[in-house]
Amino acid sequence: MSLTDGEIVELARELDDAQTSARAVTGRSAGEDWDVLSAYRVQRHLVARRRSRGEQPIGLKLGFTSRAKMRQMGVHDVIVGQLTDAMDVPDGGELSLDGLIQPRVEPEVAFRIARDVDLDDPRACVATAVDAVAPALEIIDSRYRDFRFSYADVIADNTSAAAFVIGPWAPVRPLDNLAVRMTVGPRTVSTGTTGAILGDPIRGLRLLAGICRRHAIPVRAGDVVLAGAATAAVPLTGGPLDEGPLIEGFVTAQVADLGRVSVRVTRARKGGDAS
Ligand SMILES: O=C(O)C/C=C/C(=O)C(=O)O
């Protein structure tokens, strides 16, 4: 089922309000399915709302590129979302849980795009436009209650994108089998390998090009592309934030032969109380 123009605008507003007020909503697909084309149109409107508040697009993300994530969420097709500068947390910097609903963290790798990719050219290859790779962390935060969504729902919600951290950029190298470990303080919370991402994360770039071509999402020089999680996502809270933070302190992803990236997760301060 396709959504009308009015429904698309309304759903983008609803999801945007959910994000800005940190209050979850119910997925539209409870009971009815809807189409991917409409879902990417909602995503476009949602990102346009963020841009109208001054945010700048700075990249793209892939999702559901590993079996661990597909199994965790019950979704079996790759998705693409859009990153803005407001989501960019410096390596070693602070991620406040304020303003998030039910954040989870994932270890990833990132690509840096050196030149605009002309997606009108059917031979266009995103992989050849990559000039650097880096370890990364992504913080996802579904605007749907309890992360319950359909494929179309999660695309509309900009693939749960909330924040990301990029480690030191390194020259392009094989990424098909690098060990990945995510730790919270001294505790290992997940392990895997970059091969879990489509056998080789570079493969995601071909899928990205197809999706971006179909839904008129540009791939530009300077963009960061997150390849998708190598392991299942780890919750940063015990549930909705008012149930109290579960994880505080440094979260680190280490990707063998590539490097490490970390972020300091800090407690949400209710009611703006800074004490
Ligand atoms: O799990 C979600 O809410 C959607 C996001 C998925 C990813 O970012 C991923 O699989 O890496």
User: Taking CB atoms and a 6 Å cutoff, what residues make up the pocket around ligand 1?
Assistant: 61, 63-64, 69, 73, 106, 138, 140, 142, 147, 154, 159-160, 228-229
At residue 63's C-alpha, the angle toward residues 57 and 67, to 5°, is 165
Q: How far is the CA of 63 from the centre of ligand 1 (A)?
A: 5
Task: Name which residue sits closest to atom 8 of ligand 1, judged by CA.
Answer: 63
Give domain status of residue 217, yes or no: yes
For 71-129, the pLDDT digits (tens) are 888 888 999 999 999 999 999 999 999 899 999 999 999 999 999 999 999 889 999 99
Give domain status of residue 13, yes or no: yes
Give domain status of residue 22, yes or no: yes
Give domain status of residue 169, yes or no: yes
Looking from the CA of residue 66, the nearest atom of ligand 1 is 10
| Total of domains in the chain | 1
Report, as an integer, the average pLDDT of 58-77.
Answer: 92
Looking from the CA of residue 228, the nearest atom of ligand 1 is 11
Looking from the CA of residue 226, the nearest atom of ligand 1 is 11
How confident is the model at residue 275, as a pLDDT? 31
Task: Name which residue sits closest to atom 3 of ligand 1, judged by CA.
Answer: 160
* Ligand 1 pocket mutation pick from 159, 224, 231 by most atoms within 8 angstroms of CB: 159
Report the complex ipTM: 0.99
Q: At what angle are helices 5-21 and 36-52 packed, to 10 degrees?
A: 50
At residue 33's C-alpha, the angle toward residues 72 and 198, to 5°, is 35
Q: How far is the CA of 275 from the centre of ligand 1 (A)?
A: 33
* Whole-number Å distance between alpha carbons of 157 and 110: 21
* Whole-number Å distance between alpha carbons of 211 and 220: 15
Give domain status of residue 10, yes or no: yes
pTM for the model stands at 0.94
For 206-244, the pLDDT digits (tens) are 999 999 999 999 999 999 999 999 999 999 986 555 555
* Whole-number Å distance between alpha carbons of 1 and 98: 36
Least Cα distance to 50 among 165, 158, 155, 147 occurs for 158
Give domain status of residue 271, yes or no: no
Q: How far is the CA of 94 from the centre of ligand 1 (A)?
A: 21
Assign residue 45 the CATH number of its domain: 3.90.850.10
**Joined tokens for residue 62:** 């892939």
Give domain status of residue 225, yes or no: yes
Give domain status of residue 238, yes or no: no
Check if the beta carbon of residue 260 is closer than 8 Å to that of residue 180: no
For 3-25, the pLDDT digits (tens) are 999 999 999 999 999 999 999 99
Identify the domain containing residue 206 by its residue range: 5-89+100-173+198-230
